[in-house]
Amino acid sequence: MRVLFWVTHLLGVGHFHRAVRMARAMRKIGLNVTLVNGGLPLDNVRLGDFDIIDLPPVSSPDTSYKRLVDPEGRGVDDAYMARRRDRLIEIGRAIEPDGILTELFPYGRWKFRHELAGLFDDQRLRPSPPVIIGSIRDIIVPPRRDKRLDGIRKLVSTYFDRLLVHGDAEFIKVEETLPLAAEFADITTYTGYVMPDLVSRGGEGPGRGEVIVSAGGSAFGKHLLATAIAARPGTILANLTWRILVGQRLADVDFEELRASGSAQDGVMVERARADFPEMLSRARLSISQAGYNTTTDILNAGVGAVFTPMAEADQSEQLLRVKMLCARGLAVSVMDTPLDAGALARGVDKAAGLQIDHSRMPKFGGAEKTASLIAAFMSP
């Protein structure tokens, strides 16, 4: 059975990484997967035995997500978006999928509704149309306007057969952040959190006994990394190696600046983000990071103590809510980035160093594998 899986990452790389994890799980049970990537092409990602086709790429230059730009930073126009739509329709006709899976859409990625509706309408003309499934993360930042909510409601009612929430309803229900989701409870299934499929766990290797500082794969997060370097001497873990992982999209000049700052202290390593991040976490003493979905699940899977500095710019409440839940369960320590300073981060590190992780309070995992089995069932005659 053939699956067309649409994903478009705009700022960080978490959406793409999560989609890749699910695509690998689908391949393991024999589904034929084509991942259609609408964001910038990515390096340093473990892929798998599935096809990737790139649409004309777009990204967001900031956390407001109000504008889309091309790889050269120029604003995209209607003609550019129409080329994406037409290319997506062509891909659908070539694949003739049994199922179409969308990442974050229809509860998010509103700007791409026309290209996806074009695909859905075209596929519905086939004698045996595909099942259409939405793939949603645990927390959705709700739109401000009722008109947008009405549009989402219409999209779900018109096109979607099933919705998958990559979370745990006992941890948080999607309708707690997007009340509209309660209207579609009858077609909604929770999969558990999508975790990394580790190549190795624990033992010797990079990350063992270290403090690992990361800021995701976006061009943002430099302030967190710089503050961590400054905070290290004032923590009870200053005798450990601190590994500073710099996102692939952070400018080279910023990377070199961070590396120069780190070189002033013995025991600080500054390098670009790595594909073996989940394995390193499983060997680490502590993690310091923002609180995006993928980073959080990597940390929970590793069972390592964590300091989270959730992104709280503009209307981005997703990370704040996620961290609040984790802290309430004793799984992490939060230090607010408003703005983050070295003293506050050092105190957070000292507190997190004493955490005793209660694994019975963890949410349900296995989201990629559950997603794969559900999609196979949805597509079966």
Please give the helix or strand (H or E) that residue 166 lies within, else none.
strand 162-166
- In this structure, the answer to whether residues 314 and 288 fall within a common structural domain is yes
Length of the chain equals 381
Contact 258, 270 (CB under 8 A): yes
- Is the residue at 200 inside a domain? no
- In this structure, the answer to whether residues 58 and 140 fall within a common structural domain is yes
Lowest mean pLDDT among 43-52, 236-245, 310-319: 310-319
- In this structure, the answer to whether residues 267 and 329 fall within a common structural domain is yes
Total domains, the chain: 2
Q: What is the DSSP letter of 242?
A: E
- In this structure, the answer to whether residues 164 and 187 fall within a common structural domain is yes
Contact 3, 98 (CB under 8 A): yes
- In this structure, the answer to whether residues 260 and 347 fall within a common structural domain is yes
Determine the average pLDDT of the residues in 39-46.
74
- In this structure, the answer to whether residues 232 and 331 fall within a common structural domain is yes
- In this structure, the answer to whether residues 76 and 54 fall within a common structural domain is yes
How far is the CA of 58 from the CAs of 2, 66, 132, 180, 257, in angstroms? 26, 12, 24, 28, 28
- Is the residue at 137 inside a domain? yes
Q: Using one digit for the tens of pLDDT, what is the confidence trace for 13-26? A: 788 989 999 999 99
Contact 142, 174 (CB under 8 A): no
In angstroms, the CA 330 to CA 197 distance is: 25
CATH code of the domain containing 84: 3.40.50.2000
In angstroms, the CA 6 to CA 318 distance is: 22
- In this structure, the answer to whether residues 374 and 356 fall within a common structural domain is no
Mean pLDDT of the chain: 92
> Could you list the residue range(s) of the whole structural domain that residue 281 is in?
211-361
- Is the residue at 267 inside a domain? yes
Q: Say what the pLDDT of residue 199 is.
A: 64
- Is the residue at 201 inside a domain? no
- Is the residue at 21 inside a domain? yes
Residue 43 has pLDDT above 70, yes or no: no
Omega within 30 of 0 (cis) for the link into 56: no
- In this structure, the answer to whether residues 356 and 369 fall within a common structural domain is no
- Is the residue at 121 inside a domain? yes
Contact 23, 53 (CB under 8 A): no
In angstroms, the CA 81 to CA 121 distance is: 17
Q: Could you tell me the pLDDT band of residue 142, with boundaries at 50, 70 and 90?
A: confident
Q: Could you tell me the pLDDT band of residue 307, with boundaries at 50, 70 and 90?
A: very high
* CA 21-279-25 angle, 5° bins: 20
- In this structure, the answer to whether residues 161 and 294 fall within a common structural domain is no
Residue 185: which of 174, 177, 197, 200 has the closest Cα?
Answer: 174
Q: Cβ–Cβ contacts within 10 Å for residue 284, how many?
A: 23
In angstroms, the CA 315 to CA 116 distance is: 25
Q: Say what the pLDDT of residue 11 is.
A: 81
DSSP string, 190-241: E--------S--SSSSTTTT-EEEEBTBSS--HHHHHHHHHHGGGSTTTTS-
Stated pTM of the model: 0.89
Q: Could you tell me the pLDDT band of residue 108, with boundaries at 50, 70 and 90?
A: very high
- In this structure, the answer to whether residues 103 and 229 fall within a common structural domain is no
Omega within 30 of 0 (cis) for the link into 106: yes
Exposed, middle or buried, 212 (CB in 10 Å: 0-12/13-18/19+)? buried
- Is the residue at 235 inside a domain? yes
Q: Could you tell me the pLDDT band of residue 315, with boundaries at 50, 70 and 90?
A: low
- Is the residue at 273 inside a domain? yes
Please give the helix or strand (H or E) that residue 14 lies within, else none.
helix 14-28
Task: Using the structure block, give the residue that is written with the tokens 């079966």.
Answer: 380
Residue 301 has pLDDT above 70, yes or no: yes
Q: Say what the pLDDT of residue 148 is.
A: 92
- In this structure, the answer to whether residues 233 and 286 fall within a common structural domain is yes
Residue 61 has pLDDT above 90, yes or no: no
